[in-house]
Amino acid sequence: RKEVEQDPGPFNVPEGATVAFNCTYSNSASQSFFWYRQDCRKEPKLLMSVYSSGNEDGRFTAQLNRASQYISLLIRDSKLSDSATYLCVVNPDTGRRALTFGSGTRLQVQP
Amino acid sequence: EPEVTQTPSHQVTQMGQEVILRCVPISNHLYFYWYRQILGQKVEFLVSFYNNEISEKSEIFDDQFSVERPDGSNFTLKIRSTKLEDSAMYFCAGGKGANQPQHFGDGTRLSIL
């Protein structure tokens, strides 16, 4: 089983749509969780950290389900500028600092 | 907003040559990292650096790789004898704490011929 697994997509949605991505992780001891976005051939940029209680930042909502070991990202009112690859990222162990990246889910928002 | 800066943006090198990739982290970061991303693949961890020493490294980070932060500013990744399979984007990242988000530089594209 992959350490961090994501549906590669692509998700093609119209502007204004709501879209959700899920991600599963294999290490139950994982401590920190993040969503990053990556535009083509650019660096990963932090979108948001994911907390156990769930958190929201504008149109973006992240949820963590430790029992099922999955993380979700919900994007409301999609904009053209949301088109990117969304990376699920996990710090797998308190003793480690390395981030483990999923392969990413590609989102294409269409006019 | 402070940024992690990397130079060069693109490096083309003959196989077997040495390359040094440079990074200037954000000034109040304490933890520093190198990651790489082969075209079409996921981002992979190489090495983490804290308190002037390597704190963790992956299997990719073999004897051909080394890192240093000699002047407390630049953080460098050296590949001693490059191979074709070293062709990738190399990202430097930094963070304030061990489990804090990491902020990435805009990367160096390394092309080995």
pLDDT per residue over A7-17, tens digit each? 999 999 999 99
Q: What angle do CA A2, A36, A106 make, to 5 degrees?
A: 70
Q: With beta carbons under 8 A apart, name residues in chain B contacting A100.
A: 45
Residue A81 main-chain phi, psi, to 5 deg: -70, -10
Pick from B42, B58, B109: CB nearest A101: B42
Average pLDDT over residues B37-59: 94
Pick from B44, B45, B101: CB nearest A49: B101
DSSP strand pairing (A11-14 vs A60-65): unpaired
Q: Tell me how close the Cα of A80 comes to any Cα of chain B, in angstroms.
A: 22
Grade residue A1 by pLDDT with cuts at 50, 70 and 90. confident
Q: With beta carbons under 8 A apart, name residues in chain A contacting B3.
A: none
Residues 65-94 of B with CB under 8 A from A: 89, 91
Interface list for chain A against chain B, based on CB atoms closer than 8 Å = 31-32, 34, 41-46, 49, 87, 91, 94, 96-104
Per-residue model confidence (pLDDT) at position A51: 86
Alpha-carbon Rg of chain A, whole angstroms? 13
Determine, for residues B98 and A97 on separate chains, whether the beta-carbon distance falls below 8 Å. yes
Sign, Cα dihedral of A14, A43, B110, A6: negative
Which single residue is written with the structure tokens 């040495």?
A: B18
Instruction: Report whether pLDDT(B11) > 70.
Output: yes
Per-residue model confidence (pLDDT) at position B1: 66
Determine, for residues B42 and A41 on separate chains, whether the beta-carbon distance falls below 8 Å. no
pLDDT per residue over A27-63, tens digit each? 888 889 999 999 998 999 999 999 888 899 999 999 9
Average pLDDT over residues A75-93: 95
